Structure 1
Amino acid sequence: MREVFVLGVGQSDFGKMPERSIADLGGQAARAAIADAGINSAQIQAVFSSRVYDAMITSQTIMKDLGVTRVEMVNVENACAGGSTAIRSLYKDIAAGFVDLGIAIGVESMTTSPIAGKLIPPDRDDLDGQLGLSMPVLFALQAQRLMATHGATPEDFAQVSVKAHDFGALNPRAQYQKRFTVEEVLASRMIADPITLLQCCPNTDGAAAVVMASADVAKKYAEAPVRVAGSALISGDYDFRRSDITTLELGARAAALAYEQAGVAPSDVDVVELHDAFASEEIVHYEDLGLCARGDGVGLLRSGATSLGGRIPVNPSGGLLSLGHPLAASGVRVICDITDQLRGRSGASQVPGAKVGLAQMLGGVATGLDAAAGSVHILTV
């Protein structure tokens, strides 16, 4: 396989913007990524886009306004991991030599979707969901187990949210740019015990885009492009084989595959962007990604290691809790933020000297499965 590099990244703002169309949001991100790459849109050979709601010809809808036609365009859906799937799909095409230069886009308008202002409903044939196992409940059960087995407290979960909002206050794109205290987080409305409102990501509109290229193309446009050193995307396993709800096994497997391909260890990683739809979930990912030993996730949080200035900052963008979660866009957005970190252009949230970054995203649940999709990408300079 050929090496694959990130040439340019772009994002829209994140928030509730019902007046903006998919073409508008996606076009803003795509134009920014193309300009960042230093190319023109006519050079793009392939487009992979992802959207969960009202999804139809997303790539074509966005790219026609950028003057891009008559190239391969593919539209994918993989729940919250859809954007990661678009990245992975383009990565494979470039690595295999089918194309030399392409763009991956993730976009979502939650405020104009059929679920605007509502909880995301389960499918009619999702028995667990119909019986009440909504996403907040699923992660609340996991949080309860973390308290029983890991010594976690509601204050620990609240601290994850405090950290995310501290970071979000530094990010001009974030939906929430306000700091909160542990007491304020705990005092917010209870959603599913022990998860309160400020420990849940908001529904959000937004888009992100990444231009990727082969080594031969990349060296023409960048002296030190960011390399996609590891890429993994896997599906979940049957739930009956799951013995511990304090781990998301598909996330751990995706991480192991990406580490092996990249030739790095968890201890080599300088910065992480991950799926934090609910605050307690972040602690689980610490362990699944190998950032600490099994059972030490709470201790890692309490040590301050995952805060800015710590050993391994996690979600310095503000994460889903602060930026918001435009579902299919989030998997592309984490690649954008890691790329910016490795290029040293993350402003007040910059991790000094970052050379290795990890971008993770999970997506979807279905009756009988522990989860639907998990993706990990490792980027290096």
Structure 2
Amino acid sequence: MPKDVAVIGVGQSAFVRGYQGSIRELAFEAFREAMQDAAITVKDVGASVVCSAPEYDKQRTPSGLIAEYLGLNPQPTFIVENVCSSSTSGIRVAYGLIKSGLHDVVVVLGFQKMSEITSADSQERMGRGADIMFESPFGTLMPAYYAMHARGHFAKYGTTEEDLALIRVKAASYGVLNEKAVYRKAVTLEQAMEAGPVCSPLKVFDCCANADGASCVIMASADKAKEICKEPVYILGLGAATAPMNVTGRTTFAGLDCARLAAKEAYEMAGVGPQDIDVAEVHDCFTIAEMMAYEMLGFAEPGKGPELIRNRETYKEGKIPVNVDGGLLSKGHPIGATGGSQVRTIVLQLRNKAGAIQVPGAEIGLVHNIGGVGIYGNVIIFGR
């Protein structure tokens, strides 16, 4: 397993529905926690990668603004945008910067303040994440796209609305324990099944919520990590893939090829397989997204994902714990910050510092982060 690049610090703001400060202050909350975790100073940082979907923010080119506020001048800073997968794309960029020898320590800072615009405007911008000539004009929004995936999975494999509801029940049971989550209430199966429709078959509890938040991941070369960090967590494998933006160009509605291909690449680089993963964070923007992730990551054969949740195998005590921090369904989904939040959870798990959600003996963890409706797929495997 390659152990050339390590995570030496992680941080996250609370994810909230309406952050009262500026984007620079929001970014600082995650940065401060990560810097304290890494026990370094700004003089140790060689570069920063800021990750955000700028159409939600009033500030143009936020990387310069945030780097200045965080005291990271005159080091170079970059902006990375791959919608919902922005911060894991930023981690891939930082990995390359470190592996090339250009920098020893790189800060990856993801943020989004989605409350700066109205919910209607936010939905319109999400819709423009599809092809603005051939799809967006027809009113395709995120719930509608994922509802099509749900219908595709239902038709091909016999999956039911109750199977999806069980995923939300699990997420909520862990969201209660996550002090940084937006939604911290338990949800019963009955509540999930009886909730109002959003886009059939998806109901209110099948969907994550917009949020404001920031995450920070500090990465270093292996040599530097050993020098300055007591508990480095190494990147063992990275995989990334893209799919046609137009869903008419996809091979299936019952899964996301970009996730399957990214996972294959990450497993091969790490020299491990799905059976070796002790804990996973997957992109559950909708319950059907988590269901498809079970299968695209190889935790279950295609069509067998429902068996995992029915048998509670993706709970903390199961054979493959998934989203035991509540996932996006409980934490909320501040676009640019989401992937970094997932990484923070896995790093804490592999350090045995995850508290009430700790998976005993976790040594290898996986992050699966999707951008748009299966356009961009990132999978990263971490090890102690």
Query: TM-score category by the smaller chain?
Result: over 0.9
Quick check: 12-21 or 315-324, which moved more?
A: 12-21
Whether 1:334 and 2:337 are equivalent positions in the alignment is: no
Structure 1 residues 130 and 31 mapped into 2: Cα distance closer, same or farther (>3 Å)? same
Return the offset for 1:56. Answer: 2.9
- 2:145 is aligned with 1:138: yes
Trace 1:159-308 onto structure 2 (pairs within 5 A): 159-237=166-244, 239-240=247-248, 242-308=250-316
- The amino acid across from 2:378 in the alignment is S
What is the alpha-carbon distance in structure 2 between the residues aligned to residue 2 and residue 267 of structure 1?
20
Q: Distance in 1 between matches of 2:122 and 2:196?
A: 16
Query: Residues 316, 3 of structure 1: CA spacing in aligned structure 2 closer, same or farther, 3 A cutoff?
Result: same
Distance 1:335 1:250, change over 3 A: same
CA contact (8 A) 1:207 1:329 kept: yes
**Deviation (angstroms), 1:337:** 0.8
Residue 318 of structure 1 is aligned with which of 314, 326, 351?
326
Is residue 375 from structure 1 mapped to residue 374 from structure 2 by the alignment?
no
Residue 62 of structure 2 corresponds to 58
Tell me, yes or no, if the aligned pair for 1:230 and 1:259 is still in contact at 8 Å: yes
* % identity of equivalent residues: 37
Could you tell me whether the CA contact under 8 Å between 2:114 and 2:122 is conserved in 1? Answer: no
Q: Which moved more, 1:347-356 or 1:123-132?
A: 123-132
Is 2:362 aligned against 1:354?
yes
Q: CA deviation at 1:239?
A: 4.5
| 5+ residue gaps, structure 1 | 366-370
Distance 1:205 1:378, change over 3 A: same
Query: Does the Cα contact within 8 Å between 1:151 and 1:298 map onto a contact in 2?
Result: no
Q: Is the 8 A contact 1:110 1:116 kept in 2?
A: no
Shift of 1:16: 1.4
Q: Is the 8 A contact 2:67 2:77 kept in 1?
A: no
Per the TM alignment, residue 31 of structure 1 is displaced from its structure 2 partner at its CA by: 1.2
How many residue pairs match? The answer is: 376
Distance 1:163 1:29 in 2: 26
Tell me how far apart the structure 2 counterparts of residues 81 and 341 of structure 1 sit (CA, whole Å): 21
Is contact 1:361-1:376 (8 Å) kept?
Answer: yes
Q: Which residue of 2 aligns with 1:75?
A: 79
Distance 2:32 2:62 in 1: 15
Alpha-carbon distance, 1:116 to partner: 6.5
CA 1:192/1:239 → structure 2, altered by over 3 Å: closer, same or farther?
A: closer
Contact 1:2-1:95 within 8 A present in 2 as well: no
In 2, the alpha carbon distance for the partners of 1:333 and 1:296 equals: 28
Q: CA deviation at 1:222?
A: 2.4
Q: Distance in 1 between matches of 2:371 and 2:133?
A: 15
For residues 247 and 194 of structure 2, the distance between their equivalents in structure 1, rounded to whole angstroms, comes to 34
- Distance (whole Å) between structure 2 residues aligned to residue 184 and residue 115 of structure 1: 24
Separation (CA, whole Å) in 1 of partners of 2:272 and 2:167: 27
Deviation of the 1:153 alpha carbon: 1.3
Structure 2, gaps ≥5 residues long: none
Q: For each residue in 1:64-117, what CA deviation from the matched residue of structure 2 results, as whole angstroms up to 9, or x when unmatched?
A: 233220111001111101111111111111012111011001000011136567
Shift of 1:216: 1.1
TM-score norm. by structure 1 comes to 0.95
**Structure 1: distance between partners of 2:118 and 2:161:** 33
Query: Which region of structure 1 is more displaced relative to structure 2, 102-111 or 224-233?
Result: 224-233
CA RMSD of aligned residues (A): 1.7
Cα distance, 1:300 vs. partner? 1.4
TM-score, normalising length: structure 2: 0.94
The AA in structure 1 aligned to 2:290 is: E
Instruction: Tell me the SS of whatever aligns to 2:185.
Output: coil
Is residue 154 of structure 1 aligned with residue 161 of structure 2?
yes
Q: Which amino acid aligns with 1:348?
A: A
| Alignment match, 2:123 | 119
Opposite residue 205 of structure 2, the aligned amino acid is: L
Which range moves more in the overlay, 112-121 or 338-347? Answer: 112-121
SS in 1 for 2:21: coil
> Paired residue for 1:94?
98
- Is residue 3 of structure 1 aligned with residue 25 of structure 2? no
What are the Cα deviations for residues 295-348 of structure 1, in whole angstroms up to 9, with x where unaligned? Answer: 211111111110121111110111110000000100111111110110111111
* 1:63 Cα offset (Å): 2.9
Deviation per CA, 1:29-65: give whole Å up to 9, x if none: 0111111011111110010011112253323322323
Deviation at 1:224, TM superposition (A): 3.8
Aligned partner of residue 119 in structure 1, secondary structure: helix
CA 134–116 in structure 1, closer or farther in 2 if over 3 Å, else same:
closer
CA shift, 1:241, in A, is 5.0
In 1, the alpha carbon distance for the partners of 2:248 and 2:152 equals 18
Task: Quote the Cα distance in structure 1 between the aligned partners of 2:153 and 2:289.
Answer: 10
**For residue 341 of structure 1, what is the amino acid of its counterpart?**
Q
Residues 22-31 or 127-136, more deviating: 127-136
- 2: CA distance between counterparts of 1:239 and 1:176? 31
